[in-house]
Homo-oligomer: A and B are copies of this chain.
Amino acid sequence: MKFPKIYTLKDIAQLIDSEFVGDENFPVYGMNEIHVVEKGDIVFVDHPKYYDKALNSDASVVLINKKVACPEGKTLLISDDPFRDFSKLATYFNPFNKADKSISESAEIGEGTIIQPNVFLGNNVTIGKNCLIHPNVVIYDGCTIGNNVTIHAGTTLGSDAFYYKNRETGFDKLISCGSIIIEDNVDIGAACTIDRGVTGNTLIKEGTKIDNQVQIGHDTIIGKKCLIASQVGIAGCTVLEDEVTLWGQVGVISGVTIGRKAVVYAQSGVSNSLEGGQAYFGSPCDVARKKYRELAGIKVLPEIINKVNKI
């Protein structure tokens, strides 16, 4: 997330009541998680295991829970609880605003777009031209929808990331301040749920078609012309390259990449990155050809066991 204007390091330190290391006028442009952080941004880190990764990232400001040596050209914010303070900043820059009505006045709706009854469009939602938004769709604040997009009834875009820190006192939520971008010519079925990015965007690229009851987690990127069948669940921070097909009830773990033109058969579970251009099956899945051989083996297993036991 980029801030609405440039802040100074001192401004930010005051917002979270923390010490800082570096020039107080050092410019801060935004805040982001480690995997999407850019120059000018704040990143946070609270585990020594990841200190180096954060300090060597593109981030210009590292919100950290130890006074370490500050890398050249960067600055530090020293906090006893970087997770808490990152959420505090997310809330400050992206406060929740109660809606006064179903269609926010700040929502922009393109020419030729039809909004059916009982739809909710939050603040600063942008919808392109010639879209069809069916009844009871909910689009949270700040989401961006392209042209020629159809969204079927009861679908939710922009709910919070499922992202918690396990503390003694209970789960502590990382406040989501990212958003969602749906590109042109995407169709989304009924009763789907797509979470916003934590600091970046969940992105559905051009021409992708999504069936009913599909779940897509925060910061996930779905390529162009993908086909996602009903009841598929895709966790957060996952990448589907272009023209991937996922059949019904497939599950995909967080953080993996599925290569271009891969096909994953129904009910499979994707627990590792997959090379493109191949078909996969099983939970956990493997190359379908191999998996079918294993399944054939399982069918004759009882008689093989008999045979072995007689030896």
* A positions within 8 Å CB-CB of B: 96, 98-99, 101-102, 114, 116-118, 120, 132, 134-136, 138, 140, 150, 152-156, 159-160, 162, 164, 170-171, 173, 185, 187, 189-193, 195, 206-207, 209, 211-213, 215, 217, 225, 227, 229-231, 233, 235, 248-249, 251, 253, 266-267, 269, 271, 283-284, 286, 293-302, 304-305, 307-308, 311
Contacts and interface: CB of A to CB of B under 8 A. Distances in A.
Nearest to A191: B193
Contacts of A251: 231, 248-249, 266-267
A286 B300 CA distance: 13
Interface of A is mostly: loop
Contacts of A193: 152, 154, 189-191, 212-213, 230
B153 A140 contact: yes
A269 B267 contact: yes
A107 to B, nearest CB: 12
| Residue with the highest number of chain B CB atoms closer than 10 Å, among A96, A153, A187, A298 | A153
A153 B114 CA distance: 21
B132 A116 contact: no
Given A162-B211, A212-B195, A304 B299 contact: no
